Structure 1
Amino acid sequence: MSMTQESRPVRKVFTTRAGGVSAAPYSSFNLALHVGDDAAAVHANRARLAESIGLPLERLVFMEQLHSNTVTYVKDATINPVPATDALVTDQRDLALVVLTADCVPMLLSDHEAGVVAAVHAGRMGARNGIVAKTVERMVQLGARPNHIHALMGAAASGKNYEVPVNMAQDVEDKLPGSRTTTTKGTCGLDIRAGIIRQLLSLGVEAIDADPRCTITDEEFFSYRREGTTGRQAGVVWLPKL
């Protein structure tokens, strides 16, 4: 039996840079207020995002992302953005958790049977320092089971193009095994998504999907590495009302 959109127990959405009102270099669907874009344009884009997913804007919860490994449980959108955190977890319905990225890995996690979802900003430092494992742990505390969790990763810097110094790559590899790689140029690189997949499997999370596209080379996405001053795309996850 096919499942209609209305009956899906959890929703996960990723945006691209298209479809907004921001001017260059933020053109056009920039959703971040902290990158120098006109605030009115960002608010208009956020309102458009909310409308497109069928939720009031005040039900979208953003983060003050700092590349930390801090995980925060939220029960409402009273404090928005949530300060100094790089992962949000909730068991509340119609509360959309938003992660903003421009090369870092945006991760959306859910256990719809337990009614728990999470949005994670898994950049190099956060992933190295265990942000994903800490988020899974927090979800389990709320009733989730690792073998029932689905993980979805959006477009991010790929191992083919994410060049880093050798000592940096080895440092991340020591903490997040499976992430060190060689780029297409033959230089030392990092594939954060590969390291996260290995970590998730070790935690018992086996339902894993990833958008393979690389933000550094795919101009459908904002990329800090490619552009410097640029916008941010979003990953959004929420539990719809029953």
Structure 2
Amino acid sequence: MSLSSANEAPRPVRMVFTSRAGGVSSSPYDSFNLGDHVGDDPADVAANRGRLARILDLEHLVWMEQIHSNTVTVVDGPQEEPVEATDALVTTQRALALVVQVADCVPVLLADHVHGVVAAAHAGRMGARNGIVRRTVETMLELGATPDAIQVVLGPAASGRHYEVPAEMAADVEKHLPGSRTRTEQGTPGIDVRAGLVRQLMGLGVTNIEADPRCTIEDESFFSYRREGTTGRQAGLVWLP
């Protein structure tokens, strides 16, 4: 398993992104698939999730039933089952890791360690268009976070140079998420969700933003629904130690 972390040294908050390598799942889910809804052997998914928890020394991971909505849920303790029908989780609890799964959508990790609030959001095209990240920030503020103290990391995702969509769709997303419309390498209409999210976050007063530039469509070390169709899911995790 390959893990990349935005916080390698001991810090007040931890953020981690996984890749597809190092698990037990067979093709086309090879090998570190963390998605239990994509057709993979449940035993293999459970083994991969168990390994993730052991390597990160985490007892409590909170998963989501992601539906490309703009619903944000505040969690105040461990959850036996994935949180139903939501695309962002927010908590003030320590040692509670929030997990977002993706395979081209943008995994968004947010943290205000000063005020003790963290969040994980699933920002696909529809969720981003409909304000999932904006609503996540607003929920964090309700729990005591401040824009100047929020750190955001946007993980590996489909890049604008490869995310081709119909012109009408690009225009629609641009209308709701300014800065997202772009042109692909082929010169066709495209969407750069991360670019739109950076602009949106800046407009909310959140300026401590990092964006991993890697494209899941072109980088085969990540799962990509657009590239493969049937495939697994990598994850982003954030927690207050």
TM-score under structure 1 length normalisation: 0.96
Q: Give the Cα–Cα distance (whole angstroms) in 2 for the partners of residues 95 and 218 of structure 1.
A: 30
Q: Which residue of structure 2 lines up, in the alignment, with residue 21 of structure 1?
A: 24
1:44 match: secondary structure:
helix
Which AA in structure 2 matches 1:212? P
Q: Which residue of structure 2 lines up, in the alignment, with residue 31 of structure 1?
A: 34
Q: Which residue of structure 2 lines up, in the alignment, with residue 174 of structure 1?
A: 175
Which AA in structure 1 matches 2:88? A
Q: Does 1:131 align with 2:135?
A: no
Q: Does 1:41 align with 2:44?
A: yes
The 3 A distance-change label for structure 1 pair 4 and 78 is closer
- Structure 1: stretches of 5+ with no match in the other structure: none
Q: Give the Cα–Cα distance (whole angstroms) in 1 for the partners of residues 91 and 79 of structure 2.
A: 14
Q: Which residue of structure 1 lines up, in the alignment, with residue 212 of structure 2?
A: 211
Q: Deviations over 1:181-216 (max 9, x none)?
A: 000000000000000000000000000001100000
Which AA in structure 2 matches 1:202? G
Q: Give the Cα–Cα distance (whole angstroms) in 2 for the partners of residues 155 and 20 of structure 1.
A: 19
Q: 1:5 aligns with which of 9, 16, 20?
A: 9
Q: Deviations over 1:80-108 (max 9, x none)?
A: 20000000000000000000000000000
Q: Which residue of structure 2 lines up, in the alignment, with residue 156 of structure 1?
A: 157
Q: Deviations over 1:1-46 (max 9, x none)?
A: xx9834x100000000001000000000000000000000000000
Deviation at 1:79, TM superposition (A): 4.5
Deviation at 1:78, TM superposition (A): 2.8
The 3 A distance-change label for structure 1 pair 116 and 166 is same
Q: Give the Cα–Cα distance (whole angstroms) in 2 for the partners of residues 23 and 185 of structure 1.
A: 33
RMSD over aligned CA atoms reads 1.0
Q: Aligned pair count?
A: 235
Q: Which residue of structure 2 lines up, in the alignment, with residue 187 of structure 1?
A: 188
Q: Does 1:52 align with 2:52?
A: no
Which AA in structure 1 matches 2:185? T
Deviation at 1:52, TM superposition (A): 1.0
The 3 A distance-change label for structure 1 pair 4 and 132 is closer
Q: Which residue of structure 2 lines up, in the alignment, with residue 110 of structure 1?
A: 111
Q: Which residue of structure 2 lines up, in the alignment, with residue 86 of structure 1?
A: 87
Which AA in structure 1 matches 2:210? D
Q: Give the Cα–Cα distance (whole angstroms) in 2 for the partners of residues 80 and 193 of structure 1.
A: 29
- Structure 2: stretches of 5+ with no match in the other structure: 1-6
Q: Does 1:67 align with 2:68?
A: yes
Q: Deviations over 1:95-127 (max 9, x none)?
A: 000000000000000000000000000000000
The 3 A distance-change label for structure 1 pair 160 and 4 is closer
Which AA in structure 2 matches 1:95? L
TM-score under structure 2 length normalisation: 0.96
1:5 match: secondary structure:
coil
Q: Give the Cα–Cα distance (whole angstroms) in 2 for the partners of residues 47 and 99 of structure 1.
A: 16
Which AA in structure 2 matches 1:105? V
2:15 match: secondary structure:
strand
